[in-house]
Amino acid sequence: MKEISCKLLVIGAGPGGYVCAIRAGQLGVDTVIVEVGKPGGTCLNVGCIPSKALIHAAEEFDKVSHMAGGKSPLGISLSAPVLDLGKTVAWKDGIVSRLNSGVAGLLKKAGVKTVHGWATFRDGKTVEVETETGSQVIRAETIVIATGSAPVELPFLPFGGSVISSTDALALSAVPKKLAVVGGGYIGLELGMAFAKLGADVTVVEALPRVLAQYDAELTRPVVKRLAALGIEVMAGAKAKGLSTKGDALLVETADGKNAKVSADKILVTVGRKPVTEGWGLDQIDLDRSGKFIRIDDQCRTSMRGIFAIGDVTGEPMLAHRAMAQGEMVAEIVAGHKRSWDKRAIPAVCFTDPELVTVGLSPEEAKAQGEIKVGLFPFAANGRAMTKLGEDGFVRVVARADNHLVLGIQAVGQGVSELAAAFGLALEMGSRLEDIAGTIHAHPTQGEGFQEAALKALGHALHI
């Protein structure tokens, strides 16, 4: 059995793991990373990247579909488009493959040794990796656990056949005629809206009183409006109960307690994700838990000396950029640098239509801390949004009433995901309303809505 030693061992080459390994390598730390699949983890291979590719393809198809028969207000007319989903999936896979190669190249450039296989802990300093060529033992001074998360499977709707996960949905060879989506969170709505644009008859079943319940109702209203426009039926307050005997329908208990059947060729279950904490020898080491997640401190240290944990395995928010920030910080700590991170400025983006962006506190959360000022600017008053046929939505800024310190920023609208960087920077820099209002924003852009929202909070909006 081969044995190697290193200063840092990273288990998992998802966004958190590979960033941690690359940064450690750049800092001269002798680093090994272990990954059983392709580099990039869930995000790159079966999550963020491929889903955004499918969403973009769906948007383009929907756009040209509305131009058929001269229905476009832009004066563009063409014949009805035809979709080849197999070709779309191949294009998506090509992007994933390019990024896989890119990550592998970056690891190599940083001097990181990659071991392909499944790692199992022997003790707090040693893991055994099952590779294609046999077993390999790796001894490390420091270990980073970055094993990520996996889709939650419902016991009464196990994955297989017509019941699919988000991973399966991104590899379909044909658009289902009827799609039932169990779970009205961001994953369910992102994919549900995409398939509706591609021609599927979509029904969303959500147990809570409304979809996207993690966001406030004012923010999600334009999305709910768009769901209706796309012909998507939303069954709120309803519970999925199982599969019909023939396997061609989802059994549902409606909000009023009645039984119903939702006819479906495919049933997409998107009720959340769970940390991958099994199968790699957690019983051999003594790590404290926070519920089902690994408990960490503000520097991602676990309860065992020399073991860090980052990313989805450590809890919410399960976001790739959170994992990346944690990975970079841990690498620098291992290299002897003084580092910490601020969790207040982690943007969250929902790639529905229209898109949602939040960073910091919502108005309700901020109000619980004291008196606040809120400024909201609608895209219906924004010239650039008008020229893009994207007038639904707004930018909203939340600040303290006494000193105008910005506590949170939210937006809903076409393409607002690209405003996430500006929102995050404003919070990270400790901006006040006057800072945002006094920053010259280019015209005509949707970003002007950010400045106008700050002006509105200050009581002197210029364009509303």
163 with 267: CB under 8 angstroms?
A: yes
> From CA 128, how far away is CA 115, in angstroms rounded?
11
Q: Which of 321, 337, 404, 443 is catalytic?
A: 443
> From CA 255, how far away is CA 43, in angstroms rounded?
34
Note if 443 is an active site residue: yes
Tell me which residue of 225, 222, 178 sits closest to 204, measured CA to CA: 178
Q: Which residues are the active-site residues?
A: 443
